[in-house]
Every structure is written in C-alpha cells, then in structure tokens.
Amino acid sequence: MTGARGNLRILDRDARRTSERAVSGVLFAAFAGVVIQLLVLAVPRHPDITLAISEPIAATSFSRPDIVDRNGRLLATDLEAPSIFADAALVLDRDEVVEKLSTVLPDLNGGQLLRDLSDRNRRFIWVRRGVAPGIAQKVHDLGLPGISFRYELKRAYPGGKMAGHLLGYTDVDNRGVSGIERYIDDKVGVDPVHSAVLSSRPPVRLSIDIGVQHALEDELDEGARRYKSEGAAGVVLNIKTGEIIASASLPRVDPAWPMQALDNKHIDRMAAGTYELGSVFKTLTLAMAFNEGLAKPDTLLDVRQPLEAGRFTVKDFHPSNRPLTVTEVYTHSSNVGAGMLALEAGPEKLQAFLKNLGLLDQMTTEEGPLAAPQLPPRWNRISTITASFGHGIAIAPLQFAAAAATVLNSGKTVHPTFLRKFDAGAADGKPVVSPATSQMMANLMRLNVVNRDGTGGKADVPGFRVGGKTGTADIAAKGGYTSNSVISSFLATFPTDDPQYLTFVILFEPKGIEETRGHRTAGVNAAPMTGELIARIAAQLGVAPQTVASTQ
C-alpha cells in the first residue's frame, strides 16, 4: 500500500508540473502577442494609411502655391483649417445633432443634414468645411457623438480686401475659380491632396506692388467719398514693360468671401465692364492724325461751326469762337476739332488705327478675359465723329489704358501683364506709331497740365513732370444718354520727358459738391485725385523729382 501511495504522489506531482508548464506557455504566448502588437503599433506609418477602418476618405482638395507681390510680400497662402463632418452610423439622435449644431452654425441647412443623417450607411457627411478654430472648438464642446473633425487647406489673404478683384477666389475644394487663382490652376499647377499638405511649389510672383496698390485703393476710397460717386477704378501701369503695378475697383471685394463677386455692383470695373470714356479718347485721335501726317501740333482748325451728320449735330461744350491749333484742340478738349481730324482720316483709317492699338478685339490677361469692346454697328460719318472723342464706342478701361501706353511707348504695343518681369528691357511689341508721334503726345499731355487753358492743371505734382488728359462722358442709357450722370476720368503719364508710368483714374457718377462749385467734370475731381496719387507713389516707383524750374 505504501508503494502504491508513493506512486500516486509521483503521478500527482508530474501532473501539476505539466499543468504549470501549460499555464506558463499560455501566459508566455499571450505576453509575446502583446509585445509584438506594441512593436507593430510603434512602427511609423504613412498618415494616409492609418485612417480608422470606419472612416471613409474625404473628397480630394488642392494645395496651392503662395501668391506674392513683386517684392516677395505675401498676398495669398494656404492655411490648415478644421472641417466638420458627421458619421451617420454613430449619431444617436439626429434631431439633437441638427438642433445643437444650429446654435453654433446659424446658417446651417438643417433639413438637408437631417435627410443625410437618416441614411445610416453614410459614414462621411460634410457639415461645414474650413471653419475658424473658435467655431470648431464650440462644436467640439457640444460633445455630439458622430461629429468629428479633419484638417484641410483653406486659402487665406493677409491683405483682406486688398487687390481682391485681381486675386480672384477659390472654391470649397481650394480650386481656383477666378482671377489670378484661376490662372494658377490653368497655367501654373496645383496638387491634389487628401489632407492638409502644403504646396512645395515656388510662389507666383505678381507685378503688383503692395505699397502702390494700397495708395491707389486709398485714393479711390477718398475720392469716391469726397465726390459722392457710385464707384471708382484705377490702374498704374509700367509703360516700358507692360507690368500692372496696381489695379483696383470700388466697391472692393474680399477674396475670402466669393459670394460678393456675384453682385453686379462689385464687378471689376477696370476689366469686367465697358464704358464710353469720353475725351481721353482724343489722345488716340490726335496720335493717329500725327502718325498719318494729317496734322502737326500747330496746324490750325476752324472749329467755330458745329459738325453735322444727318439729324445729329456735334458742338463743343465751351465754344472757342475762333480757330484752334491742334495743340489747343487737345488742351481745350474740342469735340469739333477731334471730329474734324477723324473725318480727315476717314472711317477706314480710324478703324484700322484703333485695331492696331488692340481696341477692337477682346483682350485677355492673367486675370482672365476682359469685357469685349462695344463697337459702332457701322463706321459711318457720325460714328467716326463720335468715336474721335470717346462716344459711341465702349471699352474696358484696362484695355484703353494699354492702348494709351502703346501711344506713349515710342509706338511699341504694350501687352498688360499681372506677372513680374525680371527682364527690365522695354516691351517687345510691334510698332504702331512712330517715336516722334509718341513724344509729341507726351508733350501735349504735359502742356494740358501746365498751360493755364489746359483741363488738367489740378493733376500737376511739382518736380515729377506729369502730363494728362481729362475725360467727362455722359452715361449711355436706352435710347440715348442720361442727363445727370457722368463718368469722369483722368489719363496721366510721368515723367513726360521719357514716359515711364501711366495712371488712369475713373469716377462713376460723381456729384457736384461745394468744393467744385457744383461741377462734376474730370478737371475738378479725377485730375486732383491723380495728382494726389502720383505724389504718393512716384518715389516708391523710383521716379526722381526735378527742380520746378526745369519741369516748365
């Protein structure tokens, strides 16, 4: 019996050892599994493949290169912004979700979100994209199951409304829709991304100078306020290179809020509208006459009698009652004299000259296509007369500015551009007028500012040799022209001994005020605005002043 009990104890001990080994093996295997899983989780992975299985991939957005001004100062960039989405399968009470989200997002389309959340198979529903961090925090604090966040790229504009029209805007996917932003998509390139990955592309450098742009916008704001105008626009153009140094239109738009661009009052008046610009067109008419050998500055024209064309009669606003030289036709702004020069050339030559200046075809810049010119249906006697002083033909102001720059650029075509040119050489356009014609027109513009009888005296800036021409045009309406609304403008260049820069400032429907003795013509509003603008920007543009005596 003793031997039997000993054998049983030995068997029992062996069984315990076997059981202990089994338990130890299980524990070791479990521990090893934990260790292996920790090692796997510790290995870094690409963020695109570490999404939770239940999280679907959001729609592709785009990373964009920065936009900077000619000196490298930032105009537009991408920022990481939180976006809000919902997982319908995780939402416990969709009515509660919509009700509470509406307290933070008052413009939320609650009905649509309710319908989206009713489908439990929809695992990814956009609630709001690109919100401010403060809004995201408020939504987070609601503690709603099924509401989550992810970071995306959103376009930001440090200058706010500055240069808003020309910069354009992007859509919710950060894709360019208009302006320079659209140009980037079409010509430069953007990169599709599934998360907030910033672009590695070099910045797009514009011809714009932030300092000059600010001065232009500031002067337009002040002018519109002072003269109670409905809008204003202006451009500063490098005549030699075609670079647009500044371009603005009032009312301004914020590129971060693209819905403003849908309002007709907020269009870019420099590019998206066409207008009869009035007597600034005489600059082109006289250039044609000089270039065709039809007149010289001292050629006499008998402007005492109005011009007749069928049932139409064209006469001067302030008749001179004596013959005028061509120089005086310009400085007195004689419609009759300009019409006589156009009739001397004939409709074919006038039309051909305007076409060579690029005024009869639609123009395109990096900002996009300009509004197409509105031309006379027939180039007959009356349309030839009226076109000579800027009526019966409507042009986008930027397109007109480019044509005027061509006249002043020793006759070489100026192609306006919003991109910085690093080659400082002159524009390489085809010749349209002779260098002699260019210099004669620059001299006439200077005389119109410094002569006592000139219309542009209020644009003079001592030392900077400013030249210019006024334009006051009745606004076209159905069946004729309005009797109490005008567009007043001033075309200027400086320095006139060798024109480098052109400015074109426009006021839409200015009012007569006490300061102007009730007048609303360009000589009392657009001209002084131009003088104040040039006084601010000339030094920024590197134009050195001369002594007052030498400028006369």
Cα–Cα distance, 507 to 250 (Å, whole number): 9
Chain centroid to CA 362? 18
Q: Which domains does the chain have, with CATH numbers?
A: 210-551 (3.40.710.10)
Q: Residue-wise pLDDT tens for the chain (552 aa)?
A: 445 445 444 445 555 555 556 545 545 554 545 444 444 444 444 333 333 334 444 457 899 999 999 999 999 999 999 999 999 999 999 999 999 999 999 999 999 999 999 999 999 999 999 898 999 999 999 999 999 999 999 999 999 999 999 999 999 999 999 999 999 999 999 999 988 999 999 999 999 999 999 999 999 999 999 999 999 999 999 999 999 999 999 999 999 988 776 788 899 999 999 999 999 999 999 999 999 999 999 999 999 999 998 888 999 888 888 999 999 999 999 999 999 999 999 999 999 999 999 999 999 999 999 999 999 999 999 999 999 999 999 999 999 999 999 999 988 999 999 999 987 555 567 889 999 999 999 999 999 999 998 999 999 999 999 999 999 999 887 767 776 789 999 999 999 999 999 999 999 999 999 999 999 999 999 999 999 999 999 999 999 998 754 555
DSSP string for residues in 477-545: ETTEEEEEEEEEEEEEEE-TTS--EEEEEEEES----GGGTT--SGGGTHHHHHHHHHHHHTTTTTPPP
* Residue 378, token pair as written in the block: 């027939």
Is the link from the previous residue into 369 a cis peptide, with omega within 30 of 0? no
Cα–Cα distance, 246 to 207 (Å, whole number): 8
DSSP H helix total and E strand total for the chain: 16, 18
pLDDT at 18: 54
Cα–Cα distance, 430 to 1 (Å, whole number): 127
pLDDT at 26: 47
- Any idea which residues carry the catalytic annotation? 279
pLDDT at 194: 87
Cα–Cα distance, 182 to 174 (Å, whole number): 11
Residue type, 335: N
pLDDT at 12: 52
pLDDT at 195: 86
pLDDT at 39: 43
Cα–Cα distance, 212 to 310 (Å, whole number): 48
* Residue 160, token pair as written in the block: 């706010």
Cα–Cα distance, 289 to 291 (Å, whole number): 6
**Which residues are CB-contacts of 307 (< 8 A; sequence separation ≥ 6)?**
313, 314, 315, 336, 339, 340, 343, 385
**Among candidate residues 416, 437, 110, the one with its CA nearest the CA of residue 239:** 416
Cα–Cα distance, 282 to 360 (Å, whole number): 17
Q: What pTM does this model have?
A: 0.85
